[in-house]
Chain A
Amino acid sequence: MPRENSVVQRFLPFISLAALFVILSIVSPYFLTTTNISSVIRQTAVINIMALGMTLVIVSGGIDLSVGSILAFSGVVGTMTMVSTDSVMLGMVVGGLAGTLWGCVNGLMIARLRIPPFIVTLGTLGIVRGLTLVISGGLPVVGLPKEHGFLGEGTIGPAPFVLVVLVACVFVAHFVLHSTKLGRYTYAIGSNEAAAIYAGIPVGRFKVAIYAICGLLTGLAGMIETSRLMTGQPTAGVTYELQVIAAVVIGGGSLTGGEGTVIGTLIGAFIMGLLSNGSDLLGINPYWQQVIIGAVIILAVALDVARKRRFAS
């Protein structure tokens, strides 16, 4: 009996997403249109891709509060490169590298200085945002090459191009977390860091890699954001870290580490996306949207905790 319950509850995020989808299709005639679904995908792609990296970080028992700032930094330096070299490709590479670099910085401070991730990334949240404003002089980067718009707004057949990017990222992230040594160690470190150290795993090195991957994906998300806006905004991504963490948590990630899946996070990000899209379609006051999303986060975690408690006893 308890086992059946746990199966239902394990798939709860997926069931919730499906239910939300069905309900919105029924109550709003605009929901199930190509335009709207494309728009949901475009809107959630940025948060979604960042959340994939955050999944690794959270599974390892860490947290990264600086992702919103890194998104803006990558976007600004990436677009500045594009403007000065007129090369979209080079700009993308620079943006991605910038994100990776900041991830490495976070990881190195966490591993070498042994400062808790919350503190390190709270610090870099401010540092990176400040540097972004310094570099850009507080002004958005404009005059981007037109082709750059394809990343965020282009389509392949009926599908938005970002969907292709997102699916590719999901596959890679899922593979890394569930099939590679890095992924295995990520779970081991998050589950019991001391035991991982005592098993002879060079935990510090792997932590740097984990935060670097999170930075890389954030850099990519930063480039998508600039492509959608066609500017490099130094103020982009403020409070995105909260949405990203929420997506991971709704998808079953545990802030104490050792738990979380890429698929869960994907579902979590879409639940958040649909809630906000659905509220828009139904004309719910944006102020109330925040209330709803906040309540959903708490509800999701409460159900997860209840599931674990029942399973434990």
Chain B
Amino acid sequence: MLLELSSIRKSFGGVHALLDGTLSVDPGQVHALVGENGAGKSTLMKIVAGMQRRDGGDMRWKGESVDFAEPAAAHRVGIHMVHQESLLAPHLTVAQNIFLGRERMSGIRLDRRGMIEAADDILQAHHFPVKGDWKVETLSPAQKQIVEICRALHGKSSLLIFDEPTSSLSDAEASEVFRTVHALREKGIGIIYITHRLVELEEIADRVTILRDGRTIHSGPAAEITTAEIVHHMVGRDISASMQRGKETPGETRLKVNLPDAEFELRAGEIVGMAGLIGAGRTEVCETIFGITPAGHGTVAVNGEPVDINSPSDAVAAGIALVTEDRQRTGLAVNLSIRTNTTLANLDALCTAEVVQVSKEKAVAEQLREKLQMQADSVEQKASELSGGNQQKIVIAKWMFRDTDIVLFDEPTRGIDVGAKAEVFALMDELAKQGKAILMVSSELPELLQVADRILVMREGELVAELPRETTQQEIMHHAVTQ
């Protein structure tokens, strides 16, 4: 037995993050850890990795009771964590990040070239499309995740903890991660794998542990439990994850996009999916339409009228909203309250002579909080204190209040749990029913097939196919990867 956790407890202030965290990992075993956001997965893993101290319970490493005061203590015995949120130094190169804290020296000088070569070796060995001398700030979220994985791989590890390694990856890239995980398992390394993508479990998990509200609800072999049972354990209730949209005839054209590499239109009442690998240019299309990176050539028309969009404020004025792929960076001012974030894009509607009518504002925020079932003490709570799913609801609430005709969703379900996903889909469905036109960019093909009325496929910056809703994952992938 490599690691044994029994009845780990941890609370912050008066809040119990963990009440009974119990699981064990053998060498050469992939142990999946699942649960909704706030179930205590991250806290439990932070305790294992020495980033938090436990309040109670027993933690044994190779049979001996241990307590890691700091991450370095966990590193010494061979426990490494691949972080979900990027803990990389953006101004340094990939190689500098991988070797951070254990730089190779040549005499008294840093062995720059040696480190870049070594980093390239690691990257190439796993077929990761990243180079050692690239600056981390230029990388996409997916590529940053790759660097994080390399950083952990690089150390001498007996136990690796993956915190949602595939949440920002396309299926092709995700399968690359699976291959890496399999290879590590062959070497006898124990792996704890936190994920929200339950479909992955079949592929890689040997054992599954399910946490709910800080307690281990179930722990057993992966082969003996179905996905439906897992979902049931996670949320404590049955949810119909399979929302089926009725087939309705779309209305008039809301958005017509004529870019050199992408021509398409969105019609009222429609949810149009957009698939493609990471880096295929899906986010770029959204950001061009939204005025972040104005198009040099090409035109955009809203409700039949050509519009000139040079900034997000132009786009919003024209009736276009963007739910960004990165909530923390571009979606929310996380240090501000739910109320402030909810009304930020439509403050004019609440102003009389430049003065914000706070009582009206509170009523609006409160109403949306209830409608979207945000789990929060009050609308005055800071956005940063909420789970990913609830944060996403704030972003959606912000645009619902602005009431634009067109809403672009870029990876709307990233990092949110099963229950919240279903709620987000229901909201998208409702917006479509109100006659809005919706574009949904997603790397989760099953989600696209479930939600979208038709699916656009991007490849290497170009729109290459438009498929009906009856299409298959294989068909989409075929267009996404082949020439």
Q: B345 → chain A, closest Cβ, in Å?
A: 4
Q: Does the CB pair B354–A195 fall under 8 Å?
A: no
Q: Does the CB pair B332–A192 fall under 8 Å?
A: yes
- Give the interface segment out of A83-91, A174-182, A268-276: A174-182
Bound complex: CA A3 to CA B358 (Å): 25
Q: Given A188-B340, A198-B324, A258-B333, are A179 and B356 neighbors across the interface (CB < 8 Å)?
A: yes
Partner of A194, one of B330, B336, B402: B330
Q: Does the CB pair B340–A187 fall under 8 Å?
A: yes
- Give the interface segment out of B239-247, B257-265, B309-317, B367-375: B309-317
Q: Does the CB pair B355–A179 fall under 8 Å?
A: yes
Partner of A258, one of B14, B312, B335: B335
Q: Does the CB pair B340–A184 fall under 8 Å?
A: yes
- What 1/0 flags go to A165-189 for Cβ under 8 Å of B? 0000000000000011110110110
A187 — nearest CB in chain B belongs to which residue?
B336
A interface size (C-beta, 8 A) = 25
Residues in B neighbouring A199, C-beta threshold 8 A = 312, 316, 344-345, 398
Q: Given A180-B354, A184-B340, A201-B344, are A192 and B334 neighbors across the interface (CB < 8 Å)?
A: yes
Q: A206 → chain B, closest Cβ, in Å?
A: 11
Partner of B317, one of A180, A184, A187, A200: A200
Partner of B347, one of A3, A181, A195, A258: A181
A33 within 8 A of B: no
Bound complex: CA A191 to CA B329 (Å): 11
B350 — nearest CB in chain A belongs to which residue?
A181
Bound complex: CA A194 to CA B332 (Å): 9
B82 within 8 A of A: no
B314 — nearest CB in chain A belongs to which residue?
A200
Residues in B neighbouring A258, C-beta threshold 8 A = 333, 335-336
Q: A221 → chain B, closest Cβ, in Å?
A: 25
Tell me the chain B residues, 329-370 only, with Cβ under 8 Å from chain A. 329-336, 340, 344-345, 347-348, 351, 354-356, 358
A20 within 8 A of B: no
A1 within 8 A of B: yes
B residues near A, CB below 8 A?
A: 12-14, 290, 292, 311-313, 315-317, 322, 324, 329-336, 340, 344-345, 347-348, 351, 354-356, 358, 398, 402
10 inter-chain pairs at a CB distance below 8 angstroms, sorted by A residue, are A3-B13, A187-B336, A194-B329, A195-B333, A195-B344, A197-B311, A198-B331, A199-B345, A200-B317, A200-B345
Q: Apart from A181-B351, A187-B336, what are 17 other A-B pairs with CB-CB below 8 Å?
A: A180-B355, A181-B356, A184-B356, A188-B333, A188-B340, A188-B344, A192-B332, A192-B335, A194-B330, A195-B329, A195-B330, A195-B344, A198-B290, A198-B330, A199-B344, A199-B398, A200-B316
Closest 3 CB pairs of A and B: A200-B316, A191-B333, A192-B333
